[in-house]
Amino acid sequence: MDKKLPLSSFRFGNIEVNGTLVAAPMDGISDSAFRRILRKQGAALCYTEFINAQDVLNDSILFQRKVASIREEEHPIGFQVYDADPDAVVTAAQKLTRFQPDFIDINIGCSVARVANRGAGAGLLLEPDKIAEIFDRLTDTLSIPITAKIRLGWDESHSNYLEISHLIEAHGGAMIAVHGRTRQQGFQGKANWDAIREIKKDISIPVIGNGDVKCVDDIHAMFSETKCDAIMIGRAAIANPWLFAMRDRHEISNAEVYALIREQLAMMVSDYEEETALLLFRKFVNHYLIPLHLNRAQKTVLFDHRTSQSLLKAIEKLLEL
């Protein structure tokens, strides 16, 4: 398999990105430790987990946890913000600049009902005027690039991705990441790469393609079919962070899996109380050990460990190291 990508870098606003594989913002997943793991594997750009503008305005501990522990090696990094109210988005974004993000990303794609049904995330696709206002105000007041992550529309009958893409560009947006599904699809069905290609052809700012990139072949195929500037990898990276190094999961030895698990767990223990770190780390271990086909009883025993050292010993034994 040819590991060479068609592009080696891209640029948006004043930011030069050394690489063309981008780590998606995933709520409950994309914390600092995981971002650092992905950067080491080759992710050229990262985003925070999405940040509720209301949490920023209220100085919630939730948003502080998402932005306060960012390390130097995570840059360039974007802070992704969501809300239905342009005033809240703009004020929150301005407030977040004190944590020195490289860019601010507006979430116009979250399909989760509690977000989209109140007009935030993908709900904004139904109100283009709000999107225009957000970009006008932010690009007028902030010196860093303002970007967006969008979906193709609310549903098939409201596929307004070209209108939204043109609007974002016209109102100062520096880059667009496009998930090739509608809000109604969620993560079901096939991602529409043709729509991503349409957007790339129609606008002049960089376009990041997202959706159904699960292996190295998919990376090559998306670049070839969409001509996008970069590719965003999300859910597939949870089980295979090595995808950013252009390696499929079957190529990874058990020793490499164990080394990454040790490194990430140590990072998380540094960022959280050990009990919390172990709880949060379960989802990653569950994905990293998928090739072992552990049954429910084995997982129950594995996740009953109360110290990182005992958990690591158990994993080492399962991997037969």
Could you list the active site residues? Answer: 110
CA 223/CA 225 separation, integer angstroms? 6
Give ∠ CA 184-185-191 in degrees, rounded to 5.
140
Locate the DSSP E strands across 41-90: 46-47, 51-52, 77-82
Secondary structure (3-state) at 207: strand
**Structure token digits, residue 303:** 């996740």
What lies within 8 Å, CB to CB, of 320 at 6+ separation is: 254
**Running DSSP on this structure, what letter comes out for residue 13?**
T
Element containing residue 178 per DSSP (H, E): strand 175-179
* Cα→Cα distances 98→79, 93, 111, 221, Å: 12, 10, 29, 39
